[in-house]
Amino acid sequence: MARPGEFQVGQLYLGEYRNGIKVWNQPIPGGLVYPQLPSKFPDPPMGYPTVVMSYPALYYLGCGHPQNCLEIYQYGDPYTGQLLKLICCGLCSYISQILTADEYNSYIDTPIVIT
Ligand SMILES: [Zn+2]
């Protein structure tokens, strides 16, 4: 259980609200975040697209959103004073991974550095 001001994997860094409007919904903590992207034909069929919509991507996070470029937030832990990097979904800010600055800057731990 995270203490106040702390973050853990599976949480939405920015929360479910944007500008006071509830945009994202995460019914189970750490689970899928809704709305998901569409994955089937529009109903009734519109004629186009004629194939099932799909979103191939480099990364699939626990929130279910396909991502090619992850959002990284820097965050100072109030308990340890350590600077942490939160590797997040660019859409819903789902926290996929929490790295220390050393891990983040290490080429061995983080071969693909996204800046
Ligand atoms: Zn997401």
Work out the average pLDDT over 86-110: 86
Angle at 19 between CA 89 and CA 75, to 5 degrees: 45
Q: How many domains does the chain have?
A: 1
Question: Is 39 contained in some domain?
Answer: no
What's the Cα-to-Cα distance from 54 to each of 28, 34, 48, 49, rounded to whole Å? 25, 17, 14, 11
Question: Ligand 1: distance of its center to the CA of 112 in Å?
Answer: 20
Helix (H/G/I), strand (E/B), else coil: 82: coil
Does position 44 have pLDDT exceeding 90, yes or no? Answer: no
Element (H, E) at 100: strand 95-100
Question: Is 44 contained in some domain?
Answer: no
Q: How confident is the model at residue 24 (pLDDT cuts 50, 70, 90)?
A: very high
Question: Ligand 1: distance of its center to the CA of 44 in Å?
Answer: 28
Question: Is 12 contained in some domain?
Answer: yes
Q: How confident is the model at residue 54 (pLDDT cuts 50, 70, 90)?
A: low
Question: Is 92 contained in some domain?
Answer: yes
Question: Ligand 1: distance of its center to the CA of 4 in Å?
Answer: 23
Predicted confidence at residue 42, as pLDDT, reads 62
**Domain span holding position 90:** 1-34+55-115
**pTM of this prediction?**
0.79
Question: Is 49 contained in some domain?
Answer: no
Question: Is 83 contained in some domain?
Answer: yes
Question: Is 104 contained in some domain?
Answer: yes
Question: Ligand 1: distance of its center to the CA of 34 in Å?
Answer: 8
Task: Please provide the average confidence, as pLDDT, over all residues in the chain.
Answer: 84
**Is 53 or 31 the better-scoring residue by pLDDT?**
31
Question: Ligand 1: distance of its center to the CA of 30 in Å?
Answer: 11
Nearest to 37, CA basis, from 18, 68, 64, 11: 64
d(CA 65, CA 73): 18
Predicted confidence at residue 48, as pLDDT, reads 64
Question: Is 42 contained in some domain?
Answer: no
